[in-house]
Copies of this chain bind each other. A is one copy, B any other.
Amino acid sequence: METRELRYFVAVAEELHFGRAAQRLGMAQPPLSRAVAQLERRLGAPLLTRSSRSVALTPAGEVLLAEGRAALAAVEAAERRTRRAGAADRPGVVLAVKAGASAELLAKLLDAYAAEPGAVPVEVLLCAVGEQGPALRDGRADVALLHLPFDTTAGLDTEELGTEGQVAVLPAGHALTGRTEVSLADLDDLPGLPPPRWSGPGGRPAGPGPEVRDHAQLLQLVQLGRTYTVLPESVRSQLPEGVVTVPVRDAARVTTVIAWPPHSRSRPVADLVATALRL
């Protein structure tokens, strides 16, 4: 199976429409139809059920969509990492972090690692919420800081770096800011203060709250009195003016982990992990 065929199938499976998929791929519809039909012949199994009005996935198609996405990510990762390894101005290693999260830990880690013998330049890739895993899987990054239970570590090797509680982040002056502690129930349905909605494929259920992609955006919106949120305690070190935190009694504890792709044989990544564990 060639990656070209896989890309074609994935596009059709995602669009469920040959015309749109062809457009997305920058090609005409007939060769796309033909390529997919040929893939089905080669695999010996129908992947799509077509009527002249609609396209749907067969069970085999569902499998190929899931597995194919993973395979394409692996191929992209190979390509990107090779390009980086061959580049003259190689950033020794790319570290992915959620924008605005673990700022203190990150600063300490970068300092400590830079002091190591044999340290290479570290490029920091600031990601939207939940993007660090995919960035690692498709080769945009070599190592990442993730936060459980929010991020998924499936398919990654990890080491635990620590856990912390969570605090509610509210606009200054809000009624709850007088409390020494709140519960999640207290935060439910605050009048005039809707919770934010995380952008991205995770889920964007329609609702009143503003859409955000990272912590920095979120804090700014809290500052403007447009939303509230619950974040790990460590955000306290970088709150803007006009926002207040209150510990949340019953929020899940957040575990920060450092993660890397399982077959990574890179010395800098190993050093970075070792350094993080010593902090």
Contact = CB atoms under 8 A, between A and B. Distances in A.
Identical copies in the complex: 2
A104 interface: no
A164 interface: no
A79 B67 CA distance: 8
Given A1-B3, A2-B3, A155 B262 contact: yes
Contacts of A47: 82, 86
A86 B46 contact: yes
B70 A74 contact: yes
Give the dominant DSSP class at A's interface.
Answer: helix
A46 B66 CA distance: 33
Interface in A53-94: 58-60, 62-64, 66-68, 70-71, 73-75, 77-79, 81-83, 85-87
B1 A2 contact: no
Contact of A82 (B63, B86, B261): B63
Interface in A29-69: 43-47, 58-60, 62-64, 66-68
A4 interface: yes
A82 B70 CA distance: 13
9 contacts: A3-B75, A43-B83, A64-B82, A66-B265, A70-B74, A70-B78, A70-B263, A71-B71, A155-B157
Interface of A: 1-4, 6, 43-47, 58-60, 62-64, 66-68, 70-71, 73-75, 77-79, 81-83, 85-87, 139, 154-157, 261-263, 265
